[in-house]
Amino acid sequence: MHKPQCIMKHKIFLFFALLFCTIMHSQTVAYDATYDNFDNTDCIDLFYLNPFVKGHQIDVQVSYYSSLLDAQNDTNPLVRFYTYSSNNETLYARVTNTLNATYDTSVITLALREFPVPPPPNGQLEFYLCDVDNDGIEVVHLRNIGTTGGNIYNNQFCGLYDSQISLTYHLSYSDVVNGENPIGEVFTLTEDTYIYCRISNDVNSGTFTYDYILKLTTCAASDDDGDGIDNAREDANRNGNYLDDDTDIDGLKNYEDDDDDGDGILTINEDYNNNGSALDDDTNSNGIADYLEADVTLSTAIHNDIKFGIYPNPVTNYLNIETDISVEASVVIFDLNGRIVMDLNGFKAEENIDVTKLPTGVYFLKLYTETINNTIKFIKK
């Protein structure tokens, strides 16, 4: 007699379990990028573009193709060291999520450029990292340092795949020559340091080495966009240059943009643990700070062409839903633990929701009908 009720309970539990899992997975994104070839070499390292194409996503792989169809079908990937035929040649990148196999594609432009200023004496490259905290320590991701240029592109590397190449970093000339004592790609800088790079051709044992200087500098804290994050801290890809970071690709660099990820929530309001900084908030524990990830706020939708939004956000008393649906919908609000805190049936677009009694925190609102399934995050102040 009670079996149908039991089955229904299991269906409801499974529905919300799948809902929560869907919300906590980010959408895979690929960003357009341009390869500026200042050295005018025919053979270029496409992996130099990886930090720009994948942005701040983790658990993704980047590959390159000569046609959009190949990128979409993951066929005929290009070699890492690619010889291109003309200026402003167009390629296509594919970013694939290694956890759920979702992917996105983007357009890559290969462009010949002239040096805006002469290269440094003796070819010595210098990179300055601002010590924002004045604590004598900064972290740098060595693979994101744009040092490769045309230095390593000679005949022994052209036409090779990444699997045929090894790249290591060292702290002394003798170590880089002998291939000994490599350091990690995430390096903690405490003083001016020479970094020696060794790239090896695993097919014929050829090697090439180059070096550059990382310099730790003291700089006055400035926050041009007033988002609570100093300009120098807006170096999201950790390459020592905050001028090249534009997470939401809206034309405003992160240090100029008070909503870095374009999710409608100001960066200064993405301090969900209320400790005075948005830098350490990662509500879905995927390694990307919430202020850099729009998909934490805007999740998947079955019907993407409807108008759907909420305001104000953050909210204190009444939450308004902005949508163009004409039928009654169901609304569910649940917390970060997946616990349902409000369940509203027969909701109409012109109504608002009283959230006065909700404790301060981060919540997810789901609006759904038979054909629509949208979820958005909001903050209760």
**Which of 30-39, 93-102, 129-138, 147-156: highest mean pLDDT?**
93-102
User: In terms of pLDDT, which residue wins out, 380 or 274?
Assistant: 380
CB 316 within 8 A of CB 334: no
pLDDT score of 334 more than 60: yes
Would you say residue 174 has pLDDT above 70? yes
pLDDT at 8: 42
Query: pLDDT digit string (tens) for 248-303?
Result: 767 788 888 888 877 777 887 777 666 667 777 777 666 677 777 766 554 333 33
- Residue 245 CB: number of other CB atoms within 10 A? 22
**Residue where the block lists tokens 């002469």:** 118
Determine the pLDDT at residue 72. 93
C-alpha–C-alpha distance, residues 338 and 322, integer Å: 24
Tell me where in the chain the CATH 2.60.40.3080 domain(s) lie. Answer: 3-24+300-380
Q: Which CATH class is domain 3-24+300-380?
A: mainly beta
Backbone angles phi, psi at 105, to 5 degrees: -125, 160
Q: Which range (55-69, 147-161, 258-272, 305-319) has the least confidence?
A: 147-161
Q: Is the pLDDT of residue 175 over 80?
A: yes
Task: Please indicate whether residue 335 or residue 224 has the higher confidence score (pLDDT).
Answer: 224
Which one has a higher pLDDT value, 195 or 45?
195
Amino acid at 312: P
How far is residue 163 from each of residues 143, 167, 253, measured CA to CA in Å? Answer: 16, 11, 34
Full DSSP string of 239-254: SS-GGG--TT-SSS-G
CB 281 within 8 A of CB 294: no
Report percent pLDDT > 90 for the chain: 12
Cα distance between residue 335 and residue 355, in whole Å: 13
> Tens of pLDDT along 211-260?
778 887 776 668 888 887 877 778 776 666 777 777 776 778 888 888 88
Per-residue pLDDT, 75: 94
C-alpha 7, offset from chain centre: 41
Task: Tell me the backbone φ, ψ of residue 289, rounded to 5 degrees.
Answer: -60, 140
Closest CA to 164 of 174, 176, 172, 156: 156
pLDDT over threshold 80, residue 319: yes
Q: Residue 361 — very low, low, confident or very high, per pLDDT cuts 50/70/90? A: confident
Q: By the 8 A CB rule, do 305 and 374 touch?
A: no
Mean pLDDT (the chain) is 75
pTM value is 0.49
- Helices of type H across the chain: 3-23, 50-54, 68-73, 173-178
113, pLDDT greater than 80: no
Q: CATH fold of 121-217, please?
A: Immunoglobulin-like (2.60.40)
List CB contacts of 215: < 8 A, sequence separation 6 or more: 126, 127, 128, 129, 192
DSSP class per residue in 52-101: HHHTT--SEEEEEESSHHHHHHT-SPPPSEEE--STTEEEEEEEEETTT-
Give the CA count within 13 Å in the CB-facing half-sphere of 164.
14
d(CA 50, CA 31): 10
pLDDT at 40: 54
pLDDT in tens, 19-69: 444 434 456 888 888 877 655 556 777 887 887 888 767 778 899 999 999
Across residues 186-200, what is the average pLDDT? 87
As given in the structure block, the two tokens for residue 155 are 């005949």
Other CB atoms within 10 Å distance of the CB of residue 229: 24
